[in-house]
């Protein structure tokens, strides 16, 4: 089994060191990447034959008769996800064991040969319908590595099988926003290493679902490099590719439990709220999208401990933003680019309007007078990334007695930074842009309270 995600990680690290970007050549997201970044929090559901064999990786020899959820309810998934603030769900339509959650006409290793709904069921259909009822977006995981398929390892023949399945999935279930291709790759029964035909896969996705983003082994969304849900500080969406710069934003995948699939033995190991909160700051708060896995159980529902935790997590996220001491502050900018670049855009709740300093300036500051001294421990800064990542260095300072004191600083802002620091009490706060590749366009600024403090 070869793992290509390591290479992707290396590419990401190199990219982070080589961001150049002169004004005018800054990469920007496609409209689809922009919408995706603004989802911030999305989910994964690992569900399949492994759910019934209590394994993480099936061998492909499992009997489809084992797949038999006793109380399958995709609406429960959708309701729980929506309440938690999740915007999109990626379902494992096929994991490495090759078992398909939809009745594929290209294999017998699928739900059609299971007792569930007397072989008439279609998990993909029920999940996409339930998601759409709640205005949630759809993503599909289709594992290229297939331990059941006899043609695997016979590269051209398997590639055709894989593309047929991809075509089937992308044709029959309406709009798909994200297609997740894992890099795991093994040898087939013939002892040969399978060589995937990625260009043909991408062409198929583009042809059938031009709005779908291709993640991980794909050009649109980048794996962050670990499975702990943690981005680096100053994680940038701009990477070097083919000698130029490209927009390739990071996605942070992590499971709410130790495993990706459900195991009753892990019911007591659902991550504590404090851990999820920390992950949120280290993913969404570091200019990345959080992809949190919640594995449905053998009933085909999210298990009680996960449901409870997601509820708390959703409440934590809403609570974090509910208090914002900057919202009603009096603002004074070092300069601004006419009414369009007015500093008041920093607190208007819109990501498509921003404060921009006067013509041609790439540095500047805005002072927030909160009216009265307030205690806070998180600052939120957001660029309008439709215009690219422009800021290269910034800091935030407070007036402490008669001295301005820096409480946090950084390089990349991007869609969102949530900067944690030991609680401070201040009335006057200043956001200072020290360096930018083009006139900065700062969309939002907020001052919040994290109940877990800095250390979680
Ligand atoms: C990995 C897979 O091998 C795991 O089973 C899981 O699907 C994870 C998200 O990606 O590469």
What distance in angstroms lies between residue 290's CA and the mean position of ligand 1's atoms? 16
What distance in angstroms lies between residue 226's CA and the mean position of ligand 1's atoms? 11
Identify the domain boundary among 291, 322, 353.
322
In this prediction, residue 454 carries a pLDDT of: 81
Residue 44 CA, closest ligand 1 atom number: 9
Looking at the DSSP bridge assignments, the partners of residue 181 are 216
In this prediction, residue 247 carries a pLDDT of: 98
Q: Which domain holds residue 190?
A: 5-322
The parts of the chain modelled with pLDDT lower than 70 are 1-24, 455-456
Same domain, 342 and 277: no
**CATH number (domain holding residue 113):** 3.20.20.80
Cβ of residue 9 lying under 6 Å from some atom of ligand 1: no
Cβ of residue 185 lying under 6 Å from some atom of ligand 1: no
Cβ of residue 253 lying under 6 Å from some atom of ligand 1: yes
Same domain, 157 and 257: yes
Residue 455 within any structural domain of the chain = no
Same domain, 163 and 309: yes
Same domain, 144 and 215: yes
Same domain, 64 and 206: yes
Residue 454 within any structural domain of the chain = no
* CB 425, CB 364: distance < 8 Å: no
Residue 161 within any structural domain of the chain = yes
Residue nearest to atom 8 of ligand 1 (CA): 260
| SS3 call for 399 | strand
Per-residue pLDDT reduced to its tens digit, 163-207: 999 999 999 999 999 999 998 888 889 999 999 999 999 999 999
Residue 56 CA, closest ligand 1 atom number: 5
Q: Give the total number of structural domains in the chain.
A: 2
CA-to-CA dists, residue 366 to 13, 332, 336, 440, 442, angstroms = 32, 6, 9, 12, 10
Residue 180 CA, closest ligand 1 atom number: 9
Residue 94 within any structural domain of the chain = yes
Phi-psi region of 70 (alpha: psi -120 to 50; beta: other; left: phi over 0): alpha
Torsion of CA 232, 235, 238, 243, to 10 degrees: -30
Same domain, 295 and 406: no
What distance in angstroms lies between residue 347's CA and the mean position of ligand 1's atoms? 40
Residue nearest to atom 6 of ligand 1 (CA): 260
- Helix runs in 269-380, H state only: 273-283, 304-322
Q: Pairing state of beta strands 250-255 and 417-436?
A: unpaired
Same domain, 71 and 145: yes
In this prediction, residue 185 carries a pLDDT of: 87
Same domain, 296 and 346: no
What distance in angstroms lies between residue 444's CA and the mean position of ligand 1's atoms? 35
In this prediction, residue 455 carries a pLDDT of: 60
Same domain, 215 and 68: yes
Cβ of residue 297 lying under 6 Å from some atom of ligand 1: no
Q: What is the pTM of this model?
A: 0.95
**CATH number (domain holding residue 344):** 2.60.120.260
What distance in angstroms lies between residue 291's CA and the mean position of ligand 1's atoms? 13
**The tokens 């959703």 sit on which residue?**
314
Identify the domain boundary among 295, 322, 349.
322
Same domain, 290 and 370: no
**Which value, in Å, is the radius of gyration of the alpha carbons in the chain?**
23
Same domain, 257 and 109: yes
Closest CA to 70 of 296, 310, 405: 296
In this prediction, residue 183 carries a pLDDT of: 86
Cβ of residue 182 lying under 6 Å from some atom of ligand 1: yes
Cβ of residue 62 lying under 6 Å from some atom of ligand 1: no
**The tokens 């989910």 sit on which residue?**
43
Per-residue pLDDT reduced to its tens digit, 36-72: 999 999 999 999 999 999 999 999 999 999 999 999 9
Closest CA to 241 of 226, 263, 219: 219
Identify the domain boundary among 301, 322, 343.
322
Same domain, 402 and 289: no
Residue 184 CA, closest ligand 1 atom number: 11
Residue 90 within any structural domain of the chain = yes
- Residue 120 neighbours by CB under 8 Å, 6+ apart: none
Residue 453 within any structural domain of the chain = no
What distance in angstroms lies between residue 447's CA and the mean position of ligand 1's atoms? 37
């Amino acid at each position: 089994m070869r793992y290509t995600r390591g290479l992707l990680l290396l590419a990401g690290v190199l990219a982070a060191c080589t961001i150049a970007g002169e004004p005018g050549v800054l990469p920007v997201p496609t409209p689809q990447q922009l919408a995706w970044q603004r989802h911030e929090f999305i989910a994964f559901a690992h569900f399949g034959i492994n759910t019934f064999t209590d394994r993480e990786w099936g061998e492909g020899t499992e009997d489809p008769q084992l797949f038999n959820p006793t109380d399958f309810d995709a609406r429960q998934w959708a309701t729980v996800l929506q309440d938690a603030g999740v915007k999109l769900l990626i379902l494992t339509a096929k994991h490495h064991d090759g078992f398909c959650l939809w009745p594929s006409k290209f294999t017998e290793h699928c739900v059609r040969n299971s007792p569930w709904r007397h072989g008439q069921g279609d998990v993909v259909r029920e999940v996409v319908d339930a998601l759409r009822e709640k205005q949630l977006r759809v993503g599909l995981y289709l594992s290229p590595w297939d331990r059941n398929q006899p043609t695997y390892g016979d590269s051209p023949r398997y590639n055709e099988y894989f593309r047929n399945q991809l075509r089937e999935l992308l044709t029959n279930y309406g709009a798909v926003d994200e297609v997740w291709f894992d890099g795991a790759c093994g040898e087939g029964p013939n002892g040969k290493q399978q060589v995937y035909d990625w260009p043909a896969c991408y062409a198929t996705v583009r042809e059938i679902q031009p709005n779908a983003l291709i993640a991980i082994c794909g050009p649109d969304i980048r794996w962050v490099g670990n499975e702990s849900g943690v981005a680096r500080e100053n994680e940038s969406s701009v990477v070097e590719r083919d000698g130029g710069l490209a927009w390739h934003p990071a996605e942070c995948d992590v499971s709410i439990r130790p495993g990706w699939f459900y195991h009753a033995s892990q019911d007591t190991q659902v991550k504590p709220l404090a851990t999820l909160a920390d992950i949120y700051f280290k993913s969404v708060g570091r200019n990345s999208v959080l992809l949190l896995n919640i594995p449905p159980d053998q009933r085909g529902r999210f298990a009680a401990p996960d449901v409870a935790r997601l509820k708390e997590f959703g409440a934590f996220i809403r609570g974090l933003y509910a208090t914002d001491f900057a919202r009603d502050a009096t603002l004074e900018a070092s300069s601004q680019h006419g009414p369009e670049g007015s500093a008041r855009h920093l607190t208007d709740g819109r990501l498509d309007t921003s404060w921009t300093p006067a013509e041609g300036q790439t540095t500047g500051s805005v002072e927030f007078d909160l009216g009265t001294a307030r205690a806070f421990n998180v600052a939120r800064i957001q660029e309008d990334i439709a215009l690219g990542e422009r800021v290269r260095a910034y800091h935030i300072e407070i007036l402490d007695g008669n001295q301005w004191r820096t409480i946090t600083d950084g390089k990349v802002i991007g869609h969102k930074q949530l900067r944690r620091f030991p609680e401070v009490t201040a009335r006057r706060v200043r956001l200072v842009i020290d360096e930018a590749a083009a006139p900065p366009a700062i969309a939002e600024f907020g001052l919040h309270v994290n109940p877990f403090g800095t250390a979680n």
